[in-house]
């Protein structure tokens, strides 16, 4: 509706109707125009402040109420709304100053609650507790506030009791339900947390169908619902974010991403910091550049989710941007003690040292390992002593598992120092020292299998570690990494257990056929990679006739099997073949040469849209888009073939 279409005398009725219908944006447009005509209009300023507050635009709401407090200093309500708006805008010192203007006895309790909230926002929990203790204990907000303070002290069970007690008095409130679920999340009782989150989402959908929950996941294009107070009061954004975090912790990554797309739709500039952080983290594998951009942006905002700093540094290290990690750490030294635990700081410090002084880094990791080993042994002794006390035993086992999850990354990064030097005997030695704690841990078993496999004389021992991993997922064998399946097949072949290798490959083929039947367009590379690795093995042993033929056959049909990963294995074999042919170290039969040329022509035909390599997300010097394709590289290989066999002479 335009201003011109509103008749004289109907402005007030139109604005109130818009507010009643929740069309705050339209009301703001009209009121802003009206305010330009009458700069000090009490009605326009009051309604404008109200609309901005409901839109969660606290900065503009504060400006409106500030003007009102100056024009009408005797109206206590405006002073209260001004302080509340400043608090909403995270302007805590200004908000605290504004609360001192509240001098009406009727506002005293509200003032105390607001002052407690401000101190809590500033993370001055002892100051917040002083204000909360001034509230009458029969006030339901007393339990809520005490619950929040207990949560910050790590007393999650006691905090949970306070929130449940408050809900019994106040009745169902979405934000209280969220607080309870957050306590259960912190206690790692994910089932209970999901139960309360489910209730938040269910009620939100039932009471507010206009919030379009789940439509984005279904692929329906819907407009933003905005950051309204209604959306805030449903606690659905918080609920969906917590659900995503739980699914992510449980390694249900698809469910975690779905929780983020299920939440009410908002445009990117309207997203809250927690949602932005979770989007960055959970889409990192698919959109790493965007993820880094979002996390770096969040680090400049106040406030930002506490885990942002550590996650950004760890992801920089994961993608091997060690210089960037070091820069962020140096530029934000003031955040180090606040947001990084001593363990995480020591871990990152050793990781960064590893790039310039590997021996020094190894020593630092060794010190960390010694401390963690000592703690693991203490917890193991406690387990024995507490065998009859179920609750205490459960808590000790949980602590042990948490400590082990800290120990494993340190051990792996330490081992990687020698892995990168191809000193596999030393890697094995490091793993053997940790056997008393890690012998049941999947990550440890997998890496032990890899290091035994790489030594080329311990295939039988490698089978002993690979087999349990594969058998664990035998009914859904495609859930196992293709490299693990390939290495197990090679180990079988190298120990003359060809029947076992063939049986495993038949099982993979059967599951791939089922997937192709259910979803004809889906690409599955497991059997292809297994065959490629076997082909590579024969090429490495000098049997190029059989090895190259196996590589060629593995990529048929090309429309289903040709991809960045499979091309990586195939081109290595071809480059090795060409190198040996150019040195006249091997002779290839004409029929095999013809097969190779034909294979490269097929790759040229089907590889137009397949990237030859996956570039690093923050790479500045990008490969030309026409050169980073399988088509381009297969043409290069074909040209090399013609040159080596003298076709063009």
Residue 618 half-sphere exposure toward CB, CA atoms < 13 A: 16
Residue 157 half-sphere exposure toward CB, CA atoms < 13 A: 1
Q: What is the mean pLDDT of residues 106-129?
A: 90
Does residue 74 carry a pLDDT above 70?
Answer: yes
The rounded distance, in Å, linking the Cα atoms of 594 and 582 is: 17
Does residue 411 carry a pLDDT above 90?
Answer: yes
Residue 552 half-sphere exposure toward CB, CA atoms < 13 A: 18
CA 549 to chain centre: 41
The percentage of the chain sitting over the pLDDT mark of 90, rounded to a whole number, equals 56
The whole-number pLDDT of residue 56 equals 85
Dump pLDDT digits (tens) for 345-395: 999 999 999 989 999 999 999 999 999 999 988 888 876 666 666 777 778
Omega cis (within 30) before 359: no
Q: Which helix (H) or strand (E) holds 222?
A: none
The whole-number pLDDT of residue 310 equals 94
If we measure between CA atoms, which residue out of 376, 371, 309 comes closest to residue 341? Answer: 309
The rounded distance, in Å, linking the Cα atoms of 71 and 404 is: 63
The rounded distance, in Å, linking the Cα atoms of 410 and 130 is: 42
Q: Is 543 exposed, middle or buried (0-12, 13-18, 19+ CB in 10 A)?
A: middle
The rounded distance, in Å, linking the Cα atoms of 60 and 44 is: 13
* DSSP one-letter string for 6-74: SPTT-HHHHHHHHHHTT-HHHHHHHHHHHHHHSTT-HHHHHHHHHHHHHTT-HHHHHHHHHHHHHH-TT
Does residue 545 carry a pLDDT above 50?
Answer: yes
The whole-number pLDDT of residue 227 equals 81
The rounded distance, in Å, linking the Cα atoms of 360 and 17 is: 70
The whole-number pLDDT of residue 444 equals 93
Tokens 């984005």 sit on residue = 216
Query: How does residue 31 score in pLDDT terms, banded at 50, 70 and 90?
Result: confident
Does residue 649 carry a pLDDT above 60?
Answer: no
Is residue 241 within 8 A of residue 307, CB to CB? The reply is no
The whole-number pLDDT of residue 5 equals 56
Two structure tokens written together for 578: 């060409």
Query: How does residue 3 score in pLDDT terms, banded at 50, 70 and 90?
Result: very low
Q: What is the mean pLDDT of residues 515-535?
A: 88
Query: How does residue 647 score in pLDDT terms, banded at 50, 70 and 90?
Result: low
Number of H helices, E strands in the chain: 35, 0
Say which DSSP state 648 is in: T
Dump pLDDT digits (tens) for 610-629: 888 887 777 667 777 778 89
The percentage of the chain sitting over the pLDDT mark of 70, rounded to a whole number, equals 97
| Long-range contacts (CB closer than 8 Å, 24 or more residues apart) made by 639-643 | 640/578, 641/578, 641/593, 641/596, 641/597, 641/600
Is residue 633 within 8 A of residue 567, CB to CB? The reply is yes
Does residue 524 carry a pLDDT above 80?
Answer: yes
- Global pTM value: 0.82
The whole-number pLDDT of residue 4 equals 46
Dump pLDDT digits (tens) for 177-220: 999 999 999 998 999 999 999 999 999 999 998 888 887 777 77
CA angle 531/533/538 to nearest 5° reads 95
The rounded distance, in Å, linking the Cα atoms of 148 and 162 is: 9
If we measure between CA atoms, which residue out of 417, 413, 450, 411 comes closest to residue 431? Answer: 411
Query: How does residue 21 score in pLDDT terms, banded at 50, 70 and 90?
Result: confident
Say which DSSP state 288 is in: H
Is residue 262 within 8 A of residue 282, CB to CB? The reply is no
Give the chain's radius of gyration (CA, Å): 32
Omega cis (within 30) before 35: no
Say which DSSP state 332 is in: T
Query: How does residue 516 score in pLDDT terms, banded at 50, 70 and 90?
Result: confident
The whole-number pLDDT of residue 407 equals 93
Arithmetic mean of pLDDT over the chain = 89
Query: How does residue 409 score in pLDDT terms, banded at 50, 70 and 90?
Result: very high
Query: How does residue 296 score in pLDDT terms, banded at 50, 70 and 90?
Result: very high
Query: How does residue 225 score in pLDDT terms, banded at 50, 70 and 90?
Result: confident
Does residue 151 carry a pLDDT above 90?
Answer: yes
Q: What is the mean pLDDT of residues 238-263?
A: 93
Residue 502 half-sphere exposure toward CB, CA atoms < 13 A: 4
Does residue 511 carry a pLDDT above 70?
Answer: yes
Q: Count CB atoms within 10 A of the CB of residue 138.
A: 8
Does residue 325 carry a pLDDT above 90?
Answer: yes
The rounded distance, in Å, linking the Cα atoms of 576 and 582 is: 10
Q: What is the mean pLDDT of residues 422-439?
A: 91
Query: How does residue 9 score in pLDDT terms, banded at 50, 70 and 90?
Result: low
Query: How does residue 224 score in pLDDT terms, banded at 50, 70 and 90?
Result: confident
H helices present in 319-423, as ranges: 322-331, 333-339, 342-353, 358-385, 390-419
Compute CA distances 103 → 73, 95, 99, 405, 422, whole Å: 11, 15, 9, 54, 74
Does residue 1 carry a pLDDT above 80?
Answer: no
H helices present in 208-307, as ranges: 229-234, 236-249, 253-262, 273-282, 288-299
* DSSP one-letter string for 466-524: HHHHHHHTGGGGGGS-HHHHHHHHHHHHHTT-HHHHHHHHHHHHHHHHHHHHH-TT---
| Long-range contacts (CB closer than 8 Å, 24 or more residues apart) made by 8-15 | 12/43, 15/47
The whole-number pLDDT of residue 648 equals 59
Is residue 281 within 8 A of residue 249, CB to CB? The reply is no
Q: How many residues does the chain have?
A: 649
Compute CA distances 595 → 397, 422, 529, 600, 649, whole Å: 59, 35, 20, 9, 21
Q: What is the mean pLDDT of residues 266-288?
A: 90
Does residue 302 carry a pLDDT above 80?
Answer: no
CA angle 308/310/314 to nearest 5° reads 115
């Amino acid at each position: 509706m335009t201003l011109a279409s509103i008749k004289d005398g109907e402005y007030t009725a139109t604005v109130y109707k818009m507010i009643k219908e929740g069309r705050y944006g339209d009301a703001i447009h009209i009121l802003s125009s009206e305010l330009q005509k009458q700069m000090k209009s009490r009605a326009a300023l009051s309604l404008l402040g109200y609309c901005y507050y409901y839109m969660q635009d606290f900065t503009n709401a504060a400006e409106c109420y500030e003007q009102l407090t100056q024009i009408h200093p005797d109206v206590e309500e405006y002073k209260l709304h001004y302080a509340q708006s400043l608090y909403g805008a995270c302007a805590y010192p200004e908000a605290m100053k504004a609360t001192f203007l509240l001098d009406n006895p009727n506002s005293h309790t509200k003032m105390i609650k607001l002052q407690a909230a401000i101190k809590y926002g500033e993370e001055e929990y002892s100051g917040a507790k002083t204000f909360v203790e001034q509230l009458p204990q029969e006030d339901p907000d007393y339990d809520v506030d005490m619950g929040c303070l207990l949560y910050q002290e790590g007393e999650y069970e006691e905090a949970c009791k306070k929130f449940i007690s408050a809900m019994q008095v106040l009745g169902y409130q979405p934000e209280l339900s969220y607080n309870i679920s957050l306590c259960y999340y912190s206690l790692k009782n994910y089932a209970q947390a999901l139960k309360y989150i489910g209730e938040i989402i269910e009620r939100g959908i039932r009471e507010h169908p206009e919030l379009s929950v789940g439509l984005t996941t279904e692929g329906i294009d819907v407009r933003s619902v905005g950051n309204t107070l209604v959306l805030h009061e449903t606690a659905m954004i918080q609920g969906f974010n917590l659900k995503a975090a739980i699914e992510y912790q449980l390694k249900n990554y698809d469910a975690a991403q779905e929780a983020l797309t299920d939440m009410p739709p908002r445009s990117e500039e309207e997203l809250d910091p927690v949602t932005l952080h979770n989007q960055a983290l959970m889409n990192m594998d698919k959109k790493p550049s965007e993820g880094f951009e979002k996390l770096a942006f969040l680090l400049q905002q106040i406030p930002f989710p506490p885990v942002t700093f550590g996650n950004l540094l760890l992801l920089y290290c994961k993608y091997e941007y060690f210089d960037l990690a070091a820069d962020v750490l140096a530029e934000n030294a003031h955040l180090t003690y606040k947001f990084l635990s001593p363990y995480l700081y020591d871990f990152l410090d050793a990781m960064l040292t590893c790039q310039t002084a590997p021996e020094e880094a190894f020593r630092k990791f060794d010190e960390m390992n010694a401390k963690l080993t000592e703690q693991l042994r203490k917890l193991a002794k406690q387990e024995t002593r507490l065998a009859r006390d179920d609750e205490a035993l459960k808590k000790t086992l949980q602590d042990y598992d948490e400590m082990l999850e800290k120990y494993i990354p340190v051990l792996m990064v330490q081992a990687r120092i020698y892995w990168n030097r191809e000193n596999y005997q030393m890697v094995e030695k490091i793993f053997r020292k940790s056997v008393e704690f890690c012998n049941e841990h999947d990550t440890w078993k997998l890496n032990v299998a890899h290091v035994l496999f790489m030594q080329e004389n311990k295939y039988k021992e490698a089978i002993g570690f690979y087999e349990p991993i594969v058998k664990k997922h035998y009914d859904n064998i495609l859930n196992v990494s293709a490299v693990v399946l390939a290495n197990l097949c090679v180990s079988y072949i190298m120990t003359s257990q060809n029947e076992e290798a063939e049986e495993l490959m038949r099982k993979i083929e059967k599951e791939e056929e089922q997937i192709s039947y259910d979803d004809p367009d889906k690409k599955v590379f497991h059997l292809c990679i297994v065959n490629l690795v076997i082909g590579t093995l024969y090429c490495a042993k000098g049997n190029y006739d059989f090895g190259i033929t196996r590589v060629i056959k593995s990529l048929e049909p090309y429309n289903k099997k040709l991809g960045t990963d499979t091309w990586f294995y195939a081109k290595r074999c071809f480059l090795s073949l060409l190198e040996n042919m150019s040195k006249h170290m091997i002779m290839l039969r004409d029929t095999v040469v013809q097969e190779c040329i034909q294979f490269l022509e097929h790759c040229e035909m089907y590889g137009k849209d397949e990237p030859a390599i996956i570039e690093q997300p923050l790479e500045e010097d990008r490969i030309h888009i026409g050169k980073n394709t399988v088509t381009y590289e297969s043409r290069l290989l074909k040209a090399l073939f013609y040159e080596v066999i003298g076709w063009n002479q």
